[in-house]
A and B are shown apart, each in its own frame.
Chain A
Amino acid sequence: MGDVTFHIKRFDAGAGARPYYQDFVVPVQGSLTVMEALFDIQEKQDGSLAFRYCCRSSICGSCAMYINGRYRLACQTNIRHLRSGDKVTVEPLPHMPMVRDLVWDMDGFFDKYEFIKPWLIRNSHTPDAEIPQSPDERRHLNMPIDCILCGACYSSCPSVWTEDHYIGPAALLKAYRFEVDSRDDAGKTRMPTWDNERGAYRCHTITNCVEACPKELNPTEGIQWLKRAAVRRRLFGKTK
């Protein structure tokens, strides 16, 4: 297949310099993922290259990057599937605070995740059997539980770019995951975290998050469910 040029955004906050781009040529025989290429560059050409890595099988959420202008997981992106010929541009998730090279600062992202109380709230404490849940009730969880917290949706959302306090699609999807769970007894305990202008109402259904999600999830759908649930609760007092 020949040589492929990786055009990589570099940055080192400590050095006080501005970000810049650097090209690395990687020889390709057959299959090559962007993650494999980054390791190849780090091992053979530039030991200083910084990027997050872990599972290399699209389940850990470490390697969401902006590759050829789209949100992708580096490990899941085979250059065979890119239509850019022999040049691949690799950047960290845009609009996010940068740490170094392809690594961005996720502290704010996880602060917002924590803010929505992302855990099952139960009134009972007697685990001598499972809490029954029908397959139909369980099916509501199928979409939101597949979130890998990679941050692609968060980085893609114009409401996140323009409002620092907006908790963003990933945290709201997690709130939806628990609110929709038949076992959750939160009632109005979790609701104040998302039923406000820094929560669900800041979503303007631009649906960038849907396009960005490398797991093909639909955060917008979850957020709209939250808005409907809030209205139902106000009008009819129902919590489910």
Chain B
Amino acid sequence: MIYHQLIVVGGGLAGLRAAVEAKAAGLDVAILTQVHPGRSHSGAAQGGVNGALANHPEGHDDTPEKHAFDTVKGSDYLADQPAALQMTTDAVPAIYELEHMGCPFSRFDDGRIAQRPFGGAGYPRTCYGADKTGHYMLHTLVEQAYKHQITMYIERFVMGLIVEDGECRGVVAYNMTKGGFEEFRGEAVIMATGGAGRTYSNTTNAVISTGGGAAMAYHAGVPLKDMEFVQFHPTGLYTTHILMTEGCRGEGGYLVNGEGERFMRRYAPSAMELAPRDITSRSIQQEIDAGRGIGGKDYVYLDLRHLGAETLAEKLPGTRDLAIHFEGVDPVYEPIPIQPCQHYSMGGIDTDVDGKTMMPGLYAAGECACVTVHGANRLGGNSLLETIVFGRRAGSAVVGFIQGKSGGGKAAAEAAAGSAAARLQKRIDDIAAREGTEDAYVIRTEMTVTMRYHFGIYREQGKMQEGLDTLLALKERLKKAKLRYTGGVWNIDMIRTTELEGMLDVALATACGALARSESRGSHARTDFETRDDAEWLKHTVATCRPEGPPKLDYRPVEMGLFEPQERKY
């Protein structure tokens, strides 16, 4: 048993920011992470982080209130409005702070942090470092973690929460490099494990973005909120689904169909290519469905040629490299084949603005959490923002929680030690001993394809019901899949087989929420209910896990107070 006051699961931006906050306040903090923190998927974020710094010549009168309005309108009015304003207000100091930590943002001529236009934003407020903003922010916070001498357990795969007397008291983890299962106990746990993109076959996400943290909280009885809202990014590379940043369009890139037309003029005449992601992705899909993809196929072009080699080298160097290496296309000379791809989970572990869940001792931040600030559709540039704002808030809240807590401590943890690791060992032994009439990797593929085609950009009752039936059957079939390898060290067969259980439950929460919501809102677009229904559906979906079958769904009103819902036009 290993004891630290605070255990942070995940070494991406949210986890690192939370850990730095708590460590600076004097807590004994440990980060557990499946990959070295510098390899976290936060680093794949490209375009930038939003904050009303008002550095851009066309944005000198920008304010956090205007940023909050854009966020709420972008969310199709499902975001909790006080939470959105909290995030946009915290944004400005959070970005200054990151810059002081050393983050190498690009600069305007006057030496201030550069900002670029982004989708759905009334002002150019996306602060960027070329098109590698996530990589630069992530490495800055990794550096801070080393500076603050935060204990990091690297290549530990966390597999479950330790819940005793209704409180979260730690986690159990697989030690990938040495083998074996370990108990990490403490006074509080912060989940910061990222999104669940890998439940879809066409995702921009890293291979480790499997929704693991959300699944562990869910299995422990903490609800998942608004899981039916899944963002499709308009511009994923056609063959590999690797992200081409929204910054491409922020810098002036065009979307062009098979007839050579900038078709966004028909869908968002004023914002054009800088409409929010839900609208842009649907527009591309409609072009493809109408046979106006390139050569009638299922992709369109992202055309950057008119920007010129110099602009690409200065502002979009990573985009050019990715297009060359992964699609064999040089954007200086050729348009890039793209299609909309799963990109972000708006839903997640149900938390408040301080990352607190309904379970004492359990907090969550970043993409695995749902505060909710993104509602039914997240604006580009708000996810990096969410990680540093709510990571800091969760870290700070845990400090207060532990100071106010009675009982606990290392001695109590030692007295309770052993049982959780033994339970995990038994779980793995049981999986290893199954008859093995099913193949976990076949099940994984069937799940991801089902999610893509039955819970994709456009959704419809019959198709979703069919998809839900498939998922429920897959869940039963997975019980017959065994481990192929039982070795102790670097057993990725065990990791990938066990994580699939959680992925299926997260997928089921998405499926059931989507099937129940008989309206179209943000990313949730139904062909059988084409309009938003505020009278019936201005509310959050709250899904609670049940051991068998689909989850139990409840609903909670959206917190309003600032902006009245209106029709979204761009």
Question: Which residues from chain A sit less than 8 Å from chain B, CB to CB?
Answer: 12-14, 31, 42-44, 47-62, 76, 78, 99-101, 103, 105-106, 110, 113-114, 117-120, 122, 124-125, 127-135, 137-138, 141, 145-146, 148-149, 178, 181, 183-184
* A130→B240 CA distance, assembly (Å): 37
Contact A60 to B488, CB < 8 A, known contacts A47-B483, A133-B107, A138-B104: no
* A122→B99 CA distance, assembly (Å): 11
The 10 closest A-B pairs by CB, nearest first: A120-B102, A47-B484, A132-B111, A47-B493, A50-B490, A60-B39, A119-B143, A47-B485, A48-B485, A43-B441
* A221→B525 CA distance, assembly (Å): 52
Is B104 in contact with A145, judged by CB distance below 8 angstroms?
Answer: yes
Which residue, A42, A114, A127, A129, has most C-beta atoms of chain B within 10 A?
A127
* A51→B38 CA distance, assembly (Å): 17
* A43→B493 CA distance, assembly (Å): 8
* A138→B113 CA distance, assembly (Å): 11
B144 on interface, CB distance cutoff 8 Å: yes
Contact A120 to B143, CB < 8 A, known contacts A56-B207, A58-B325, A127-B100: yes
* A178→B147 CA distance, assembly (Å): 14
Number of residue pairs A-B, CB distance < 8 angstroms: 161
* A111→B136 CA distance, assembly (Å): 21
**B204: nearest residue on chain A (CB-CB)?**
A57
* A149→B138 CA distance, assembly (Å): 12
- Chain A nearest CB: distance from B493 CB in Å? 4
* A128→B206 CA distance, assembly (Å): 35
The range of chain B's interface size is 35 or more
Contact A103 to B99, CB < 8 A, known contacts A54-B206, A60-B39, A61-B39: no
B41 on interface, CB distance cutoff 8 Å: yes
Contact A54 to B326, CB < 8 A, known contacts A48-B487, A60-B44: no
- Chain A nearest CB: distance from B348 CB in Å? 20
Which residues of B in the span 103-135 have a Cβ within 8 Å of any Cβ on A?
Answer: 104-113, 129, 132, 135
Which residue, B40, B53, B139, B144, has most C-beta atoms of chain A within 10 A?
B139
Contacting residues, chain B, for A57 (C-beta < 8 A): 44, 206, 240, 242-243, 322, 326
* A88→B429 CA distance, assembly (Å): 36
Contacting residues, chain B, for A14 (C-beta < 8 A): 179, 487-489
* A137→B112 CA distance, assembly (Å): 12
* A131→B100 CA distance, assembly (Å): 7
Is B97 in contact with A127, judged by CB distance below 8 angstroms?
Answer: yes
Contact A132 to B112, CB < 8 A, known contacts A62-B35, A145-B139: yes
